[in-house]
Every structure is written in structure tokens, then in C-alpha cells.
Amino acid sequence: MSTKIFCDIADLNLIKRFNKKKIVKGFTTNPSLMRKAGARDYQAYSKQILKICRNKPISLEVFADDHRSMIKQGIKINSWGKNVYVKVPIINSQNQFTGKVIKELNNRNIKLNITAVYTAKQTEKILKKINKKTKVIISIFAGRAGDTGKDPVPEFVKSLKMAKKFKNVEILWASVREPYNFVQAKQLGCHIITIPPSIIEKIQNFGKSFKELTVETVKAFLVDSKKSRFKI
């Protein structure tokens, strides 16, 4: 199984650019990326994204904090396009599990991306709320876990094992910190990894030898020392 690369971005110009790349199989967004991109009207901005990205899956996140409003937003977001996955955080800001939201939207055959997941126990809770027909992505935040000194790999291993019983479920490596995370995701058997544009650019350079990297590194040192006019 090959690990699909999604691009984690909300900037319209970058979406236009990366939508043309064959390596990119889909897109993920979140309210923070939307804000950074300058979005003011969530619906209007999302529809601009969907005009660019018509044929690849794209995750658009609910931003309500109570379960009833999350369900309402999820139904509306789903109506914007056939390639839309409704992104739902595993809890709200009050640390309340969104199982009711997940179950309701899943029962309506709405494709979901469950986000802000960190543990296999959380994966297990999600799997108990879904059917075995409607597509579901479970996004596990590897980078943020690693930032706190925790190894996310065991959580992926257990989550992937549980997900094997569901042909409609894909495990996504989220919160990428470096290009090598793509190698790790592939080795684990993750279905998807979502990656910022700058790191996708680096992944496209995979395959260089250590010799080539050594030469490039030393040449860069030389160029910078000349530009700085260093003397001893």
C-alpha cells in the first residue's frame, strides 16, 4: 500500500499551485490555517477553495463548540461538494467527546475526518461510533506528540491494527515536522500523510545520495562565507 500525500494549506494561491502536482492527492485545512490565509467569510472562502480543487478530497472543519451546532455545520459543509470531508475534532474545548456528532454525521453517510487525535484509545472510541460503509479519516497528530517528548509511533501501530477491520477507514499522519516523517508514515503503513507545502517541496528531492548532499552543503558554506566577505 502506498501512502497518499495530502497538502495541509488554506492559502488560495498555494492550493492552485499544489493542486497541479501529481504527488498531491488531496488537501486538508483547519480554522487556524483559514485565518492565517486571510479568510473572513468561512463559507465563501471554502467555496473558493472548492472551485480550485474539484476532483481531489478536501477536509473542511467545523468550528462550533457545542455538539448540536457541530452537527448543523457538518451537514451544511457536506453540501458544498462531493469531494468534501467534514473535519470534526475528537473533543470540544470543554473536553467532551464528540461521539454524538461523529455518529450522527456518519449515519447520514457524510464523509468525515476526525482530527486532533493522539492515542489509540481515542481511535478505538471513534471506531465504536461509525459504520463500516461511509468513508472516515482518523488524523493522528504525530508532530505535536513528539514536541512533548512522546513517541507517537506505538499509537499509530495500534490504531492501524484496529482500522484493518474497517475498509472505509484511513489513518492519517498529521502534524508533520520534517520530510523524514513521510518515510516513517510509509514504513508504518499509514494510508495518508498531510504535509505543509514547504516540506512537500523537499520530498520531491528525495533520492539524492549522501555524496550529493555533502557537496551541496559545503558549497552553501562557501557561498555564504564569500557573501559575508569573511577574513581571518
Q: What is residue 205's predicted lDDT score, i.e. its pLDDT? A: 80
Q: 3-class secondary structure for 33-94?
A: HHHHCCCCCHHHHHHHHHHHCCCCCEEEECCCCCHHHHHHHHHHHHCCCCCEEEEEECECCC
pLDDT per residue over 105-149, tens digit each? 999 999 999 999 999 999 999 999 999 999 999 999 999 999 999
Domain ranges of the chain: 4-204
CA distance 27 to 98: 23
Are 182 and 205 in contact by the 8 Å Cβ rule? The answer is: no
Query: Which residues carry out catalysis?
Result: 87
User: Per the structure block, which three cell numbers stand in for 69?
Assistant: 451546532
What does the pLDDT profile of the chain (232 residues) look like in tens digits?
699 999 999 999 999 999 999 999 999 999 999 999 999 999 999 999 999 999 999 999 999 999 999 999 999 999 999 999 999 999 999 999 999 999 999 999 999 999 999 999 999 999 999 999 999 999 999 999 999 999 999 999 999 999 999 999 999 999 999 999 999 999 999 999 999 999 999 998 888 899 999 999 999 999 999 999 999 9
Are 140 and 171 in contact by the 8 Å Cβ rule? The answer is: yes
User: Per the structure block, which three cell numbers stand in for 50?
Assistant: 472548492
At 53, the amino acid letter reads C
Report whether CATH 3.20.20.70 matches the domain 4-204: yes
CA distance 182 to 220: 26
Per DSSP bridges, beta strands 58-61 and 84-89 are: parallel
